[in-house]
A and B are shown apart, each in its own frame.
Chain A
Amino acid sequence: MAKDKQNKNGVLEEVTSSEYKYGFVTDIETETAPMGLNEDIVRFISAKKNEPEWLLEFRLIAFRHWLTLDEPNWALIDYPPINFQNIIYYAAPKKKKELESLDEVDPELLDTFNKLGISLEEQKMLSGVAVDVVMDSVSVKTTFQDTLAKHGIIFCSFSEAVQNHPDLVKKYMGSIVPYKDNYYAALNSAVFSDGSFCFIPKGVRCPIELSTYFRINAANTGQFERTLIVAEAGSYVSYLEGCTAPQRDENQLHAAIVEILVMDDAEVKYSTVQNWYPGNKNGKGGVYNFVTKRGLCQGRNSKISWTQVETGSAITWKYPSCILKGDNSIGEFYSVAVTNNYQQADTGTKMIHIGKNTKSTIISKGISAGKSNNSYRGLVRVSKNADNARNFSQCDSLLLGDQCGAHTFPYIKTANPTAIVEHEATTSKISEDQLFYCQQRGIDSEKAIGLIVNGYAKEVLKQLPMEFAVEAQKLLAITLEGSVG
């Protein structure tokens, strides 16, 4: 029996201890801002990007507001204070000139993204996914822009959007996540460097998946990107986001904003596979991931669906939310969050029901291993006028090993008597019976754990677009390599 336990721990150890495979650094010439943060840095970033006066003004107001704020401390995460003066707020791979074609992209860069499994060469792409690639503070390449333009879809880097579609950016930026929203939103609004912009015009169903790939490369830098998606009436888009970072001993800060606006009868599906460097086995290094993601279902019958697979980052602080303002609008949140070693995740969602007949679904699967802590934190609010609002939440936690923690913090606020809100949660470990059953059928414990965990997360994984789902499944197995007792 004791021996059995030992064996299993051994397997766990093995499963959880595998290496982060995206930890390499690209040797590329990088242009950076001086370390630290003040108004001059904000002006420097704005000037680098050749921004109009109003945008600089926006940044400065946000920066001044940020100075008045304290770091939030309500999440169940523990980390030494961040020295915001010890971060470089702008880093860009040096370009020789404006890129005319893919041939002119630095071969080092191309190689980097090939290693990450992302091909920037359109002809090589099998599935037809348009990709915007953001490295450190700038977008390096957006593919398939021409094809999309034929449908009237704008998909480009945020910087390009500022230059080419200033009216749209001005109109929508900050309308869903205002700079005052929270500490990290204010910080991002002051120093954001790039990101993606996506506009789907009325009645258009985006024919391909849109995708942004974020990569932190330079040392000591923070990444502060913004994404803005506007879906006009009757439109549809599926958007994917992936992230990796090199393996470094110091912590790196990532504070992003994602804003989504959805009009009548439109739908946005937003999928994330977050795999920032999680730090090493002893909890050294890793990305601090503080992200504000929010979508507004403004129109009638509009829909936002968030799917996230969170495997990376030393710290995750992230609550993709839906404001269900339009009557009959729908919000969905599907999440798998895996933490291992010393990772800490405090993640969940907010579903704010304002319109009538609004519906929301929350499926959250937390998996903790090693010495990690994994919390679900979610708010369901039904406002006074949200007649017939419906919410169903299922938040399960799976513990692998006896040194980790799994926590559930649901907040339910209801002020409408016709609302039905249901929350269910369970916490358990992989059952010995399940493991034994698999073993008896000849499946070794490591594979069995992978199987069981994938089964456990299936409800969420099936929400992902195909190519992503396969990737995510592998990622789950890798993240947990070495973990059940």
Chain B
Amino acid sequence: MQKNYKKSFLLEQNLIHLFKEKKSELFGNCHPKVALSRQQAFDDFQAKGLPTTKEESWKNTNLSKQYEDIFQLDNPLTELDKSAGEIFQCDIHGFDTDVISMLNGWYYSPEGKQLQILENGIVVGSILEAQKAYPEYFDSYFDEIAKGRNHGLTAVNKALFRDGIFIYVPDGVEVEKSIQLINIVNRDEKMMINSRNLIILGKNSKLSFLHCDDSVNHNPGFINTLTEIYIGENACLDLYKLQNINNETALLNNTFIKQELNSRSKVNVISLNGGIIRNELNVEFSGEGADADLNGIYLMDHEQHIDNQVFVNHAVPNCNSSELFKGVLDDSASGVFNGYIYVARDAQNTNAFQRNNNILMKSTAKIDTQPFLEIYADDVKCSHGATVGQLDEEALFYMMQRGISRQDAYLLLMYAFTAEVTGKISIEALQSNIEDMIKKRLRGELAICEKCVLHCGHPDIPLEFEIDMSKV
């Protein structure tokens, strides 16, 4: 009976080695909670190792190729060439954002400001700087949500993260401009990047945040990001994740959200391209009257793999959650959706809704969907549904009878399929931009471009079926 036997992967060995070698650097100038978290996570990692398909929640996502690859694990902060500043230009028509950037795992500010205080006392900058400047926020919030919730790769992140972003929105402040994080990797080596973010929304505050993961080259990579978001009483968060990375890159995006009394969160995860993408979204209600609206679109083809793990913990009564994830899988792409709604004992008057719809385009594509409910309170309204199917043949014929080619009819229907999710994006300019990207993606025109995921520098290719009547 060989139990718990686990092969040690090359990456595992290298990571352990790195931790030991760089210990003084990692722990230098650390906030005590950061140091504690690093050490605990490292111990945990040594015990657990990297997650493999033998673990229930990793059954359908296999990273063994990455585990045996040689990555540049420690990326020294080097001087940036001047053109790098160009990378971060991003103009979405009618949509003005404050852009912050991560370059090769390090917070990057063209002006050299690692921590900035914007109007109304909003703090934005590097998590490394923030722990020194604002230890009190780290005392109260750092690792408070993500603590102890580890699989091997979250442990790796916690132990080894080099940098990340920090955002603090004071009580009562509504951030007018969206803040946009552009996460770019442009080095020629294969890199593994661990970055950790902390976002704090004070009472009655409001923030809309775009998190863009983008590749600018075709080098293999492994991006492992952990984000903790604390939404204070009556605060409101709009979170958009736009993922457009190359086919050789694996992206693990782990987000922990904690919501206080009457707070609201709205999350849209748009996965357009990527070798392996795994999004873990953990939402916990710790105050009553909170509301979470979690949505996602994934459009995968070739050998791509997408894995969305959405866990909603109704720990207290009177909260609402809604999940809607929709995806199209073409070629040999594979998809996983694992939704988990947990309703604690006494979390009465809970409304939880969950739906996952998939379209398989080819016989080589596949989907595993697991919409789970675990419910311990009786005064609840919970429902979930999952479907796997095709585009409606009746509708295709109807369109063709009106003269629309089969291919265009396909595109229209696929676009319509995703519209239910994009329709929930509340910033109009962003919505139409994302819709355009989806159209391009569906037409196979969305390539890894030299700019960020939002294709700012490029004039839009006119799309015949695109009409926005509001603009006529």
Contact = CB atoms under 8 A, between A and B. Distances in A.
CB–CB under 8 A between A and B in the complex? yes
Nearest to B329: A417
Interface stretch (A45-53, A198-206, A425-433, A471-479): A425-433
Interface in B27-72: 56
Given A384-B363, A416-B360, A418-B390, A402 B377 contact: yes
B205 interface: no
B467 to A, nearest CB: 30
A408 interface: yes
A485 B377 CA distance: 12
A406 interface: yes
A421 B388 CA distance: 5
B390 A424 contact: no
A4 interface: no
Interface string A59-79: 000000000101000101000
Interface stretch (A24-32, A209-217, A234-242, A393-401): A393-401
Given A74-B56, A411-B370, A412-B369, A423 B376 contact: no
Contacts of A415: 363, 365-366
B383 A427 contact: yes
B3 interface: yes
B367 interface: yes
A127 to B, nearest CB: 39
B375 A399 contact: yes
Contacts of A400: 378
A269 interface: no
A404 interface: yes
B414 to A, nearest CB: 13
Contacts of B387: 420-423
A416 B389 contact: no
Given A76-B374, A411-B368, A413-B368, A420 B382 contact: no
A203 to B, nearest CB: 37
Interface residues of A, number: 39
Q: How large is the interface on B (under 10, 10 to 19, 20 to 34, 35 or more residues)?
A: 35 or more
A439 interface: no
A417 B373 contact: no
Contacts of B16: none
Contact of B378 (A401, A422, A423, A426): A401
A419 interface: yes
Nearest to A417: B360
A164 interface: no
B129 interface: no
A401 to B, nearest CB: 6
A6 interface: no
Most buried by B among A76, A423, A429: A423
A405 interface: yes
A409 B370 contact: yes
A399 B348 CA distance: 12
Interface in B1-22: 1, 3
Contacts of B376: 404-405
A418 B391 CA distance: 10
B389 to A, nearest CB: 5
Contacts of A283: none
Contacts of A404: 376, 378
A70 B1 CA distance: 9
Contacts of B374: 76, 405, 407
Nearest to A74: B56
A485 B348 CA distance: 13
A403 interface: yes
Contact of A421 (B365, B379, B389): B389
B361 interface: yes
B370 A412 contact: yes
B308 to A, nearest CB: 14
Contacts of A384: 363
B396 interface: no
B381 interface: yes
A358 to B, nearest CB: 15
Nearest to B56: A74
Contacts, number: 118
A429 B370 contact: no
Given A402-B348, A403-B345, A485-B378, A410 B3 contact: no
A1 to B, nearest CB: 14
Nearest to B372: A409
Contact of A414 (B56, B377, B388): B388
Contacts of B386: 410, 412, 421-423
B399 interface: no
Contacts of B365: 415, 417
B385 interface: yes
B371 interface: yes
A356 B390 CA distance: 17
Given A407-B375, A409-B372, A420-B388, A414 B366 contact: yes
B383 A424 contact: yes
A417 B56 contact: no
A402 B370 CA distance: 26
Contact of A420 (B348, B368, B369, B390): B390
Nearest to A67: B1
B375 A414 contact: no
Contacts of B383: 424-427
Given A406-B375, A414-B360, A68 B1 contact: yes
Interface string B333-361: 00000000000011010000000001011
Contacts of A406: 373, 375
Nearest to A398: B378
Nearest to A402: B378
A407 B378 contact: no
A429 B363 contact: no
A424 B373 contact: no
A429 B379 contact: yes
Nearest to B337: A412
A428 B380 contact: yes
Contacts of B378: 399-402, 404, 429, 485
A412 B372 contact: no
A409 B3 CA distance: 26
Given A410-B370, A417-B360, A424-B385, A397 B375 contact: yes
Contacts of A70: 1, 3
A308 B1 CA distance: 36
B390 A417 contact: yes
B384 interface: yes
B362 interface: yes
Nearest to A428: B381
Contacts of B361: 417
B377 A425 contact: no
A402 B385 contact: no
Most buried by A among B368, B383, B385, B388: B388
Given A402-B345, A420-B387, A424-B385, 8 more contacts: A382-B388, A403-B345, A410-B370, A410-B386, A412-B368, A414-B388, A417-B365, A419-B360
26 contacts: A74-B56, A400-B378, A401-B378, A402-B345, A402-B346, A403-B345, A406-B375, A407-B372, A408-B371, A409-B372, A409-B373, A411-B368, A411-B370, A412-B369, A412-B370, A413-B367, A414-B358, A414-B367, A417-B360, A417-B363, A423-B385, A425-B383, A425-B385, A426-B383, A427-B381, A428-B380
Interface of A: 68, 70, 74, 76, 382, 384, 397, 399-429, 485
List 5 A-B pairs, minimum CB-CB distance, nearest first: A399-B378, A415-B366, A417-B360, A427-B382, A408-B373
